[in-house]
Amino acid sequence: MVHIDISGSTSVCFILGKPIAQVKTPAVFNAWAARTGADAVLVPLALAETGVKPFFQAMGDWENCPGCIVTYPYKQAAYACLHEASETAAFLGACNVVRRDPDGRLVGAITDGLGYAKALVARGVPLEGSDFLLIGAGGAGAAIGHEVARRGVARLAVLELDETRRDTLLRRLEEAFPTVRCFCEPPKDFRFDVACNATPLGMHGEPRLPFPVERLGPATVVTDVVPDPAVTPFLAAARDRGLRIQTGPEMVEGQFAFVIGHLFPAP
C-alpha cells in the first residue's frame, strides 16, 4: 500500500463513477505521486446520477482541485458540464478527464482510445488495415472506435444493444473516416484481427460473454476495458482458446500519461 502525506497544500483529484470500487486508477495515480514526489492525491467518488451536475458546478470553485477523472456511466454527462473540450471529446460528446483551470473553467478530454491503442501498439498489434470488432458504443467504446478508425483499420464492426447510439456512431465515423468500412454486424469474411469488449459486462463476474469466442479467428487479439477483474470471463474464455489478450488494467496503464498530461499541463 502506498503511503501518502496529505497537507493543506495537497492537490486533490477525484475519479467519479457508479460503481467505483472496481477502478484501478487511484492505485496507479497515487503510486505515481509517491514515486515522483507530486503533492497530489486521487480519491474515488461513488456519485449518484443526480450529483453529476452539482459536482462539476462545485468543482469550478475548488481551488486545490486540479480536476477529475470520469468513468462509467458519466462520460457523456460530464461532457455536458464543460466550458471547453478537446477535438476528440467534442466529436464524441463524451470525456473522461476534466481539468479545472485557475479561472474555474472546466476543460475536458477523452483518453480511452489513446490509452487503448497505445497498449496494443506496445504489444506489437497492428491496427492499420485490420478488421476490428467493437462491442459497445458508450463513452469508452466510442472513443476506441474513433481512435482505431483514425489509425486506419480497414473494417470496423460495432455491436451495440442501443441501435440509435450504434447507428449514430457508425454514421459519424463513416463521415469522418471515409476509407474505413463500417458495419453493424461482422460480414461473413470478417477476419476478427482484434475484438474489444467496451461494455461493463464482466465487471461483476457475469458468466455471460459479450460475444461468442468460437466465432473469433485463431489469431484474434481479444481485449477488454473492464478494470476489475483484470481477466474477465470473456478474456478467460479467449485465453483458454489460445488467443492473445489485453486487459482493462493494461489499458489504464496505456492512458495514464495522457491523463496526467491533461490534469497537470506543462507550463
78-132 per-position pLDDT tens digit: 999 999 999 999 999 999 999 999 999 999 999 999 999 999 999 999 999 999 9
Local confidence band at 35 (pLDDT 50, 70, 90 cut-offs): very high
Superfamily name and number for 11-110: Leucine Dehydrogenase, chain A, domain 1 (3.40.50.10860)
The percent of residues above 70 in pLDDT, for the chain, comes to 99
Architecture of domain 113-251: 3-Layer(aba) Sandwich (3.40)
- Three-point CA angle 70, 71, 72, nearest 5°: 135
pLDDT on residue 183: 98
Which residues lie closer than 8 Å to 211 by C-beta, 6 or more apart? Answer: 133, 135, 159, 195, 197, 234
In this chain, the answer to whether the domains covering 11-110 and 113-251 adopt an identical fold is: yes
pLDDT on residue 49: 96
Residue found under cell 491503442: 117
Residue found under cell 489478450: 245
Active-site position among 18, 24, 53, 75: 75
Domain ranges of the chain: 11-110, 113-251
Local confidence band at 2 (pLDDT 50, 70, 90 cut-offs): low
Peptide bond into 212 cis (omega under 30): no
pLDDT on residue 189: 97
Q: What is the pLDDT of residues 4-31, one digit of tens each?
A: 789 999 999 999 999 999 888 999 999 9
75 flagged as catalytic: yes
**Mean residue pLDDT across the chain:** 95
Please give the Cα distance from 261 to 257 (Å, whole number): 6
Beta bridge partners of 194: 132, 221
pLDDT on residue 128: 97
Which residue from 98, 41, 95, 23 is spatially nearest to 67, judged by alpha carbons?
98
Q: What is the pLDDT of residues 154-179, one digit of tens each?
A: 999 999 999 999 999 999 999 999 99
Please give the Cα distance from 5 to 29 (Å, whole number): 14
What amino acid occupies position 180? V
Beta bridge partners of 131: 155
pLDDT on residue 1: 61
Residue 65 scores a pLDDT above 80? yes
pLDDT on residue 22: 87
